[in-house]
Amino acid sequence: MNRIDALFSSLKRSNRQALMPFITAGDPDLPTTKALVEELVARGADMVEIGIPYSDPIADGPVIAASYTRALQKGVKHAEILATVRKLRDEAKASKSAIDGTPIVAMVSYSILHRQGVKTFLEQAAHAGFDGAIVPDLPVEESAHVAKIATELGLKLIQLITPTTPRERALAIAKSTTGFIYYVSVAGITGERKSLPPELAGNVAWLRTQTDLPVCIGFGIGSPEQIRELAPVADGLIVGSALVKRLANIGDTPRSQVVADLGGFVGELADALKS
C-alpha cells in the first residue's frame, strides 16, 4: 500500500488529522534538508512535502520563491535531491526509524516533468522513495496521462482546488486526484496570514461530502492557533512559508541549531493538533 493511503487510513481510525510541513530541497543545502526531514518527523510531522526548486514557481509567494532562488543559486540538481531522498529511505529502513513509513511528497512544476520526460521523472521519483507529486501547473484537463503513469508506478497525483474553483470543476479535479486533495485556503499565493477566510470551513465541509479522499488545507497556515481552528474541518494541514521563512536569515547559525529550532516549531504545531 502507498504510504499516503496507509497514513490516512491509520489517522481515520484514530480520528486524527495529518500535520504536513513543507521545506525546499537544498535550502540552505541538501544535508540540512535531510536532517530537517528526520527532525520534523521525530517532532510530530505525519508527512513531509519537499519543494523541487524551479526558476518560475507557480502560486508561491515571496518566501518560498526566494528559497527556490537560494537553492538554485547554490547549484542544487534534481539528481542530487532524488539521491538525498533515497539515502533517507535506505537509512530509515536499515534503522527501522519512523521515516520508513512516513510519506514524502514532491511539489514540482510540470515544466520539470516535461523537460525530463514525465515517465522518466516519475520513475526516478518513485525509485528515490517519493510517494506522490503535487503538480500545481497541471490542469485537470491535461492530467490523465500523468495520472496513468503515476498510478502504474504506485505514486499519487495530488491536485489543487482553490476557493475560486467552480464546483463542477472541483468535482472533476476530485475524481482525477489520488492520495488526497490539496485545498488552497485563500485565493492568491503562498504565505502566512494573520487570519483565514470565514468561508473556508464551509467550502471544505462541502468538498468532503463530495469525495472519499482526504482533504488537506494549505496556504496561509502558520501558527498553533490556526492549526487548532482548522483541525475540526480538515483531514490534514500543510505548513510551508512559516517554516521556510525561518531558513531565510540563518547566517552562520550551526546546522544542528537550525534543525532544532524548526523541529521545535513543528513540535508546537503537532501539540496544537492534539489539543
Q: Give the residue numbers annotated as catalytic, written as ranges.
A: 49, 60
CA dihedral 185, 146, 87, 235 (to 10 degrees): 30
Residue type, 135: V
**Residue 104 CA from chain centroid, whole number:** 8
Q: What angle do CA 62, 64, 66 make, to 5 degrees?
A: 65
Contact 171, 151 (CB under 8 A): no
Could you tell me the sign of the dihedral formed by the alpha carbons of 26, 137, 189, 4, in that order? negative
Query: With DSSP H G I counted as helix, E B as strand and the rest as coil, what are the percentages for the chain, rounded to 5?
Result: 55, 15, 35
Place of cell 518560475: 56
Burial 87-103 (b: 16+ CB within 10 A, else e): ebbeebeeeeeebbebb
> Of 150, 13, 128, which is closest to residue 78 (Cα–Cα)?
128
